[in-house]
Amino acid sequence: MTIRHSDLTGSKPGLNPLTLYGVELSSRMLLGTARYPSPQIMADAVAAAKCELVTVSLRREQARGQVGNRFLELIMDLDVRVLPNTAGCNTARDAITTAQMARELFDSDWIKLEVIANDDTLQPDLFGLVEAAEVLARDGFKVFPYTTEDLGAAERLVAAGCEVLMPWGAPIGTGQGLNNRAALKAMRAYFPDTPLVVDAGIGAPSHAAAAMELGFDAVLLNTAIAKAGDPVTMARSFAEAIHAARAAYESGLMAPRDMATPSTPVFGTPFVDEDPTS
Amino acid sequence: MGQSIHSAFKILVNGMMTETTASTLQALLAEQGYGDTRVATARNGTFVPSRVREETTLKPGDSIEVVSARQGG
């Protein structure tokens, strides 16, 4: 595998493709569509990053409102795959009903399953998450669970039929990066063949790169781009970081060492004489 | 169709107390003016596919959700 100098962003030869539920994606950046200064800036950010999968949601529609239709048209113009979420659901039942409504509205059986336990941390309710995942997977959904690094919960999710796991990096919207790097590393080791996506908490391209260098398959982010001073340039920056770090991972990163090793050859160093007794 | 023969009753539509004479979910959407907006619906917390809205009858106190596509993370 070679990484060409011209391969700077988005979909290009050089990287192994990402396969989620049998669908091949060139981009390893999943992008949220919320909180941008304008719909056009959102669309430009998606295009700049060459994203192929964006998250969307469902919300109450006003009578005589056309907000949903306008947003649907905007999303359809992007010509990307959509991943509806169940954001804001606090119970398995609400999440299941929301997923069913999303399937009809977006004509997709992909669902980013969120069951939220706590409004301050927005951490996943792992019990409700597993319960909802079991029901939805049986009903034919392709479930993308927003979860933690907990390996027991992850095992239950995989057993329920989840072919992708999406552990958080840090609480949603905090931009703290990878709060529990060791646990994420363990998760990668424990599930070598399951696509793992770090979802939430990514604040900077270096955070996304760190996740990719750990061997995570993709990153899902929103706020760090949407709330940037220049979201379009930030989207491109993230895409470049994600691509570079994935390429590095696939190229075989060196293992850290405790002690220094000279990179310049020692043999032939001037003024240094070989010990004749050795 | 046949809405007017029912007397008005109260239900919740997206959390708002709403007086309606609609006998079915389909009639309620028409009465409320959803028109050609692409929406998904639930009744009392359970998903109601669009194909069965016409046969989904409403009762006083029902809680109806009418949702559409939005930005999401």
CATH value at residue B30? 3.10.20.30
How confident is the model at residue A276, as a pLDDT? 63
Of the candidates B13, B33, B71, the beta carbon closest to that of A57 is on B71
C-alpha span between A190 and A17 (Å, rounded): 21
Token couple for B4: 């007017």
| Long-range contact pairs involving B12-16 (C-beta distance under 8 Å, separation at least 24) | B12/B61, B12/B62, B12/B63, B12/B64, B13/A63, B13/B64, B13/B66, B14/A60, B14/A61, B14/B64, B14/B65, B14/B66, B15/A60, B15/B63
Mean pLDDT of the region A125-154: 98
The CA angle A11-A15-A18, to the nearest 5 degrees, is 75
CB contact set of A94 (below 8 Å; sequence gap of 6+):
A86, B45
Query: Is B33 in contact with A63 (Cβ distance < 8 A)?
Result: yes
Residue of higher predicted confidence among A3 and A119: A119
Whether B35 has its CB under 8 Å from any CB of chain A: the answer is yes
How close A237 gets to chain B, by Cα (Å)? Answer: 19
Statement: residue A10 has pLDDT above 50: no
Q: What are phi and psi of A92, to 5 degrees?
A: -60, -40
Query: Is B40 in contact with A105 (Cβ distance < 8 A)?
Result: yes
pTM: 0.90
Identity of residue B42 = A
Statement: residue A11 has pLDDT above 50: no
Residues of A in contact with B50 (CB under 8 A): 104
Instruction: Kindly name the residue from A50, A112, A142, A185 that is annotated as catalytic.
Output: A112
pLDDT in tens, B15-56: 999 999 999 999 999 999 998 889 999 999 999 999 999 999
How close A267 gets to chain B, by Cα (Å)? Answer: 56
The answer to the question of residue B44 being in a domain is yes
How confident is the model at residue A174, as a pLDDT? 93
CB contact set of A186 (below 8 Å; sequence gap of 6+):
A149, A151
| Chain A residues with at least one Cβ partner in B under 8 Å | 32-36, 42, 55-61, 63-69, 71-72, 75, 84-85, 87, 93-94, 97, 100-102, 104-106, 172-173, 222-223
How confident is the model at residue B2, as a pLDDT? 47
Query: Is B38 in contact with A66 (Cβ distance < 8 A)?
Result: no
The answer to the question of residue B17 being in a domain is yes
Q: Are A45 and B55 in contact (CB under 8 A)?
A: no
The answer to the question of residue B55 being in a domain is yes
Query: Is B67 in contact with A87 (Cβ distance < 8 A)?
Result: no
Statement: residue B13 has pLDDT above 50: yes
Please say if A185 is a catalytic residue: no
Mean pLDDT of the region A262-274: 89
Statement: residue A65 has pLDDT above 50: yes
How confident is the model at residue A6, as a pLDDT? 47
Query: Is A42 in contact with B71 (Cβ distance < 8 A)?
Result: yes
Domain that holds residue B30: 9-68
Mean pLDDT of the region A209-230: 97
C-alpha span between B72 and A121 (Å, rounded): 18
The answer to the question of residue B73 being in a domain is no
Total tally of structural domains belonging to chain B? 1
* Nearest Cα residue in chain B from A92: B45
Residues of A in contact with B13 (CB under 8 A): 63
How confident is the model at residue B31, as a pLDDT? 94
Query: Is B45 in contact with A172 (Cβ distance < 8 A)?
Result: no
The answer to the question of residue B29 being in a domain is yes
* Nearest Cα residue in chain B from A43: B71
The length of chain B is 73
Query: Is A67 in contact with B32 (Cβ distance < 8 A)?
Result: no
CB contact set of A18 (below 8 Å; sequence gap of 6+):
A24, A25, A26, A27, A28, A195, A217, A218
The answer to the question of residue B60 being in a domain is yes
